[in-house]
Chains A and B, each alone.
Chain A
Amino acid sequence: MRAARSLRQPGLYIGAAGVVSFVAAWYLLTEFFTLPRFSKLPGPVAVWSEFTSRTPTFGTSVFTPDYWKHAGWSVWRVAQAFFWATILGVPLGLFMGWKKVVHDYAFPVLELLRPIPGLAWVPLAILLFTGFASREAPIIFLAFLPAFFATTLNTMLGVASIDDNYFRAAACLGSKPRHVFLRIVLPGALPYIFTGLQISAGVAWFSLVAAEMISGEYGLGFLIWDSYVLSQFPVIVIAMVSLGIIGYLFSAAIRLTGRFLMRWTTQGVM
């Protein structure tokens, strides 16, 4: 019933028109009119035929295991980085927001490290983890760092956003510290935590791709750079589009989880 109603929304068609116009313009510029510099770029037809062919010229399509291997590696790395960023960032952020002592000690250190862009850590990350069996550690660390900062900071802001009166009411009602933490601080900060998680997933993804491009062996980021070096241009676009889709799905998954956990927000203020 709802699906039928949303199909009648004019916005849907205008939006679809926007996407179609973009693809059409892309096609016209690169493959139809073949304008000077545009013609060097792969066009939508080339990309689509490559992506959906059973015997792709450059060896990467929906049907090749290689493609899924690269995608899988990227997803696996991001998942690990995101996991550690969340496991470490959320509790730290909660305590920093709740207890001034924790905030006073931790915040200056974080603020000192945060302005350094995640990717400036690349050489240092490689050095830090030399001697580790896996070459994965530096890549995951690079994705982990900005995600960790985003999660911690947003969680901390979330606790700060809780109206003082909720804490006072909880005190009046005889709460002990563990009640305040589990039943006031944590649920109260949840909206901000989920905003932070979405941001964190985004920056983790972004940093991961960069790290893969600089020093990876597998993964979609590596695939982009490798295809460029080997002049397999359609594959670049395949990888880019895949990145976009996976990134979007990841974000949507977090958003939906948030909406499920926070059923009390009737208007979905997020």
Chain B
Amino acid sequence: MATGALGIHGVSKVYDPDGARVLAVDNCTLDIAAGEFCVVVGPSGCGKTTLLNAAAGFHDITAGEITLDGRVICSPRHTQPPGAERIVVFQNGALFPWMTVQDNVAYGPVVQGKLSNAEARRQGDELLRELGLAGVGDRYPADLSSGMRRRVEIARALINDPKVLLLDEPFRAMDALTKGVAQEFLLQAYDRMPKTVFFITHDLEEALFLADRVVVMTTRPCRVKEILTVDFERPRSFRVRASRRYLELKTAVFDAVHEEATRAFEAGERELA
């Protein structure tokens, strides 16, 4: 029985930095099925990260509600604190620099008291090996390349068997070649144990390669503009990028996003978060 259905219903979020009320998210509604790989695209600063942060429990919302498997986890009155059922992989990476790779990955189960130190390390090592990172266990994050670091962070999340994986432009800082490899490893992990994935990116090619559905957001305040279904089979090979269907989808997505991007560019918006 698949779990991890994320429901975003009529969510609005108003920021109030020093009295200037900024509407970041405006009446946004989106239902993500359990086990679905959902990619959200939109111009920078439009509020996608705000939505992700709310789903993760990092801040509250001004209106609407967010549900997980039908249970309300975020509403104007109550925000459930972040937990291991919806783990975030951050844009600039948040591997603890003072812990080795092995300790980082083992962190979650150990502090939750679910596994012993030794057992957590063993499982972590296995996970790392599946992600192509055998043998880096006792290195520090600063010694690794960005591609490797991001994969370690994904391992750190997956070892806790979360219901939802929230990824905030995780591959943004990587060059195109490293990005391609990282995407493939992510898909391999996804194919092995499907979870609900909420993935934010501004790279349209990446979106189409990874997603079951691509959600296009408007510029700030963000609302759902359009949803495209990506019906390629899984497991996906990179050759899918050369197919005709891919090109059709790309044109459709591009048209939708470009309009919003131009609007954002002309408005000269600074990124909020």
Cβ-closest 7 pairs across A and B: A173-B108, A187-B98, A169-B94, A171-B82, A174-B112, A174-B84, A165-B94
Most buried by A among B81, B88, B156: B88
Cα-based distance from A265 to B142 in the complex (angstroms):
8
Inter-subunit contact A264/B88 (CB<8 Å): no
Which of A131-139, A176-184, A220-228 sits within the interface? A176-184
Inter-subunit contact A266/B160 (CB<8 Å): no
Query: From residue B49, how far is it (CB to closest CB) to chain A in Å?
Result: 12
Inter-subunit contact B90/A169 (CB<8 Å): yes
Contacts of A170 in B (CB 8 A): 96, 107
Cα-based distance from A238 to B136 in the complex (angstroms):
53
Cα-based distance from A242 to B127 in the complex (angstroms):
57
* Known contacts A168-B88, A172-B56, A174-B83; A188/B98 CB under 8 A: yes
Contacts of A188 in B (CB 8 A): 98
Inter-subunit contact A173/B156 (CB<8 Å): yes
Inter-subunit contact B81/A171 (CB<8 Å): yes
In terms of DSSP, what is the predominant structure of the interface of chain A? helix
| A190 in the interface (beta carbon within 8 A) | yes
Question: Which B residues are closer than 8 A to A by beta carbons?
Answer: 56-58, 81-84, 86-88, 90, 92, 94, 96-99, 107-108, 111-112, 140-143, 156-157, 160
Most buried by A among B82, B108, B140, B160: B82
Inter-subunit contact B142/A166 (CB<8 Å): no
Contacts of A173 in B (CB 8 A): 84, 87, 107-108, 111-112, 156, 160
Inter-subunit contact B107/A266 (CB<8 Å): no
Some 30 contacts from A to B, beta carbons below 8 A apart, are A165-B92, A165-B94, A166-B96, A168-B56, A168-B88, A168-B90, A169-B94, A169-B96, A171-B58, A172-B83, A172-B84, A172-B86, A172-B88, A173-B87, A173-B107, A173-B108, A173-B112, A173-B156, A174-B84, A174-B112, A176-B111, A179-B111, A183-B96, A183-B111, A187-B98, A187-B99, A188-B98, A262-B98, A265-B142, A266-B143
| A8 in the interface (beta carbon within 8 A) | no
Q: Which residue of A lies closest to B93 (CB)?
A: A165
Cα-based distance from A184 to B96 in the complex (angstroms):
8
Cα-based distance from A171 to B81 in the complex (angstroms):
8
Cα-based distance from A163 to B112 in the complex (angstroms):
22
Q: Which residue of A lies closest to B143 (CB)?
A: A266
Most buried by B among A170, A179, A264, A265: A264
Cα-based distance from A174 to B81 in the complex (angstroms):
10
Contacts of A251 in B (CB 8 A): none
Cα-based distance from A9 to B61 in the complex (angstroms):
61
Cα-based distance from A172 to B143 in the complex (angstroms):
24
Contacts of B143 in A (CB 8 A): 266
| A175 in the interface (beta carbon within 8 A) | yes
Q: Which residue of B lies closest to A264 (CB)?
A: B140
Contacts of B142 in A (CB 8 A): 264-266
Besides A172-B56, A172-B84, A173-B112, 16 other A-B contacts (C-beta < 8 A): A166-B96, A168-B82, A171-B58, A171-B82, A173-B84, A173-B87, A174-B83, A174-B108, A174-B112, A183-B96, A183-B99, A183-B107, A187-B99, A262-B98, A266-B140, A266-B142
Q: Which residue in A165, A166, A174, A265 is a CB contact (below 8 Å) of B111?
A: A174
Q: 1/0 per residue A253-270: CB within 8 Å of B?
A: 000000000111110000
Contacts of A266 in B (CB 8 A): 140, 142-143
Q: Which residue of A lies closest to B142 (CB)?
A: A266
Cα-based distance from A263 to B97 in the complex (angstroms):
10
Q: Which residue in A163, A168, A179, A264 is a CB contact (below 8 Å) of B98?
A: A264
Inter-subunit contact B92/A172 (CB<8 Å): no
Instruction: List CB contacts (< 8 Å) of A121-142 with chain B.
Output: none
* Known contacts A172-B82, A172-B88, A179-B111; A187/B140 CB under 8 A: no
Contacts of B156 in A (CB 8 A): 173
Query: From residue A137, how far is it (CB to closest CB) to chain B in Å?
Result: 38
Inter-subunit contact A169/B88 (CB<8 Å): yes
Inter-subunit contact B94/A163 (CB<8 Å): yes
Contacts of A190 in B (CB 8 A): 98
Cα-based distance from A176 to B82 in the complex (angstroms):
11
Contacts of B111 in A (CB 8 A): 173-176, 179, 183
Query: From residue A224, how far is it (CB to closest CB) to chain B in Å?
Result: 43
Cα-based distance from A255 to B74 in the complex (angstroms):
47
Query: From residue A222, how far is it (CB to closest CB) to chain B in Å?
Result: 43
* Known contacts A173-B108, A184-B96, A264-B140; A168/B58 CB under 8 A: yes
Contacts of B84 in A (CB 8 A): 172-174
Cα-based distance from A183 to B86 in the complex (angstroms):
21
Cα-based distance from A171 to B141 in the complex (angstroms):
20
